[in-house]
Every structure is written in C-alpha cells, then in structure tokens.
Structure 1
Amino acid sequence: MSALSDSGIEEDLHASPAETSRLTSELQECDYEESCFIIQRHNEVHFLALDCLARQPQITAEARSKLVSWLIAVHRQLKLSFESCCLAVNIMDRFLITTSVAADCFQLLGVTSLLIATKQVEVYSPLITQLLSLCCNSFTREQLCNLECLILLRLNFRLAAPTLAFFLEYFTRHPTGYQTEGATDKMVATQDRNVWKEPEKWLACKVCELSLADYTFNKYMPSVIVLCAMKVAKDLLKTHSAQPTDSYAGSSQTLESFCFQEYPAFEAELLFQQCTEDLKLLVALNQDIVQDFITP
C-alpha cells in the first residue's frame, strides 16, 4: 500500500493503476505545493469541457459569453477569488455536456455553479438570497437548491478541477523549468523566484479572464491558455524580465514543452502558436480593457 493512500491523493489521480503508482511515488519526493501542481497538471485533461454546447439547442456561444461575463462581474462585486469564478465556469460547462438546459434557466445554472464553486474554494459562501437577488429574484430558493443537487449528481461530486487561476498563480510565483527523466517530470528551481511583477501578472490575469468568456478557448487546457497568456502579456508590455523561458538555466525542457508534452513536437508548436494567436486576437478585440497597461 502506498504511503499516500490514506491521504486521499490517489483518489484525485484519474489514472491507470500503473500510472497512479508512478505518480504517487513521485509525489512523495515533492512538497505540498509541487504535489498540488503535479496532480492538477495530470488531471486537467479529465476536467476539460470540450464542445460543451454541442448538445445545447437553446444555448449559444454568445449566450455563454454574456453569462460568463456577468459571472465575472458578480464575483468582483461579491469580492470572491478568481479561482471561484474559474471553477464556476468549469462546473457550468461540464454540466452542459451532460444535460440540456433551457435558455430561461441558463442564468440559474450560472449562479448555482458559482455557489458550488464558492463552497469548494471560499471560507464563506454568498447567501442564496443574495445570489437570487442578483437574478432579480427570477428564481426561487427551491429551484436553486434542486439544481445544485442535480449538478453534483451529474458531475459525480468531482469538483476539484484544475483552473486558469490555479496555473496562473503557480506559474507567476514559480518561474521554474522542467526536465524529463524517463517517465517523471522534475522541477528545476531558478535563482529568481519573483520574476513576475504586478503589472505583468495583472495583464496575464486579464487575458485569462477574457478567454474564460470566449467559447473558442474551451478546446485548450487551462495550463496551455495560461502559458500563452503569459507570453501575450510579456509581448504587450515589451518586458524581457517577464519571459519565463529566459530564466530556465540548465533546463532540458522548457515550460512550453512541459505543458504540451501530450503532443508530438510539431503539434505542440502549432498548438502553442494557435492559442497565442487566438489570445492576441481576443486582446485586440478588447483593447479598452487592457489599454492602460499596454501603453507606455
């Protein structure tokens, strides 16, 4: 039996027994923060809400964009973390894969997903009456509670999804490189662990926030979006100090290749370029939001 069996970590790894054994062995050599990263990095493909609108006859990409933009505003108004907002969108999208939702119930799905996310992330969740009032009391408490139960059942209570907020926080706090040794990925610490300053981090966060509301980015894994958002932010601010790969002295594998290790090299490069170009276009269409930070 693994030494980590009683901790519940093995239950968080959606992997074959052989891969679980390898990962738990690797996790024993890491500290808590590194272990969280490895687990989330491994699991993000299992929480990807790919083509979540494919079976939704009444919900369009435009409707989703409006609702997510509203949820972003709500999370700010309620002073919730960006993690809660990202998790709420993931919960909502994964539920849309399982169940058809009527257009007039879509907003209820959004606030219910936010409530579930805050229960997972925040110390204190918003009051149900508070959330319902934000919907102009168009729904009842009973409707929200019934939908909450349905969401949890359809998702099998799997709520610990990797999010943009998680990877953004980790990558900006840990400008580290990675090298592959056989089947395991080892971290290579750098001298400067505070490369990302507030303007760069804020802009990268804004780019991630914009991608959250755009259905185009549902096909990319969160770590991929964050990495490309960091590159876009660096290019926009024209700062060399914010470039993660510049500080990876001695690494045999860059952060880019680590995040794209599921793909052949040529596919990884194309995916990175495609995501980066999509983000640049998204920023160009939302210049008013980032203008103050990209002008001298």
Structure 2
Amino acid sequence: MNLHALRLFHTVAVTGSVTRAAETLNISQPSITAQIKKFEQELSLTLLKPQGRGIAVTDSGQRIAQLAQRLFAVERQIEQFAQECREGTSGHVRLAATYLPSHFLLPAWIARFKQRYDAVELSIVTTNSSEALRLLLNVDVDMAIYGGLPEQYPDDVEMEELFQDELWFVVSSKHRLAGRHIALEEMMQEPFVMREEGSSTRERLFALCRTHSAPAPKVALQFNGLYESVRAVVSGYGASFVSSLVVREYVERGELSRVFVEGVRLRNTIAVCTRRNEALSAAAANLIGLMRSSPYRVG
C-alpha cells in the first residue's frame, strides 16, 4: 500500500478540498489528484466523487479515512516513543548490584532517577560479585554496580570507578579489641562474621592475609546479607571486615568500634561495569550519569 498516497487522501478527506489539502501539504493540486487516482486503482475502490464544483468522500472513502486516522495516530505514538528512547525518558534498564550498593546507594540513586525519568522501567537483581559478573556477560543485565570489584574480570568488561570508601575491621563497642591498634596476625585470631563465598569483600580479606603471610581468617558465621552480618557483630560476636558505608552510623552511635590493624589501609572501589564496545541505551546512560554526579562521603 502506498502510505504517501493514503496520507494525501486523508488530508483531502479531513480538509474537504483538494485545494486546501494542497495548501496544507505544500503540494500542487494536480499532483495530489493524480496520486489519489493511482491509489484508487491500487485499492480498486472509489474514494472521491464529484459534488458540485468540488468533491465528496464516498462511503468507502469515509471508512478508509477513519482507519487512516488510527494508523497515523499510531505513527505519531511510534515517533514519540522513538524520541523518548533516544533521549532516555522511556525504556527499560536492567541492572545487577552487589549488596553494598543495592542497600546503601541504589535507593537514593533510583529515587533521584525516577523523579526525572518516571517512565523508565528499572529491573534490579541484588547478588554477589561473581553472579553479577555472570549476569552482565550473559547479557541478562545492562550494567553491574559493584561495591568492591572482583580480583579479576574479563577484557570485554569495562569498569568505571565512581568513588572509593574504606574497608574497616569492626567489633562490638564492648569487645576487648575495640579502638585498639593491633597486628594483622592478632586480628586473625578472632572469629569472623562474613558474607558468603563470592563476596568481593570476603575475597579481599583472604587476599590481604595471603599478601602479608598471615593466617587466613576463621569465618565462624556466614550470612547472605550485610545487615545480618553487622547485627551479629553488634550483638557481641566476633569481628567483621566491611565497607565503611555499611557501618559508619553504627560506629558513630557507639554500637560498633573500629579495630586499627597496623599497616593495613584498604579502600573499596564502588564501580559500574558494562560490556566493552557495546552501546548503552540512552536511559542506561542517563542512570550512569546520575550516579557519577552523586555526592558521597568517603571514609
């Protein structure tokens, strides 16, 4: 079907005149008339008929004009949707996030993002570092937000650092090590409350011990969530090695205390990872732009 001819006919039907249609479309009257005649031949229908000095739309033409009205309305919707996708004001962004950014950073980021881009749909999976990387490489998500990066990641993953915070050793404020400066070997004598295997912070602690030839930590309690790990230490059991973003308020309230391990000052990278050489949607790029511009309090 010749959609250009359909548009010409629809304009004639709406304006009621070939002359007015020609003025509206800035096309000559003979050209409009000729193209509509070809369109009638294509459909094997008469759409216009003479009426006095002008023309009238036939019954078949009226029905065609109604259907064309719906078609061009959908066309406008498609054009608007495409524009929104180009500008990032519509679409669907899928992301995986490790527990730290998911619980302590993403809520504020998403609130700000949705205030500006309410029509964008967001799907969020909270998981550990290893699974977040797998989801990214399997194209199940558009980006992965890490609180602490895996020690190794493939070349086809592009990492952008957003900011850094400190990794702290913490114990209950009533613990015998609270506020003390000790050696790493002594710290490793304590039972640790940690996240499950695959957690980047847990891997950092084991790597730290290997680097300093210290005994590996004894993980006495293991949880899948950060909150549970922290609450166990607050309650008085063991120690934890965790991002300052997670425990800063507990320390300020006096529920937890830092243990200062001599010669150890580690920072935790908060980063967004995407697939290298793969263009992001405008909506995903807008979300990353917002995360870049967010202020943080670093340890």
Q: TM-score, normalised by structure 2?
A: 0.21
Q: Which has the higher helix share?
A: 1
Structure number with greater CO (CA < 8 Å, separation at least 6) is 2
For the pair shown, the structure with the greater C-alpha radius of gyration is: 2
Q: Which has the higher strand share?
A: 2
Q: TM-score, normalised by structure 1?
A: 0.21
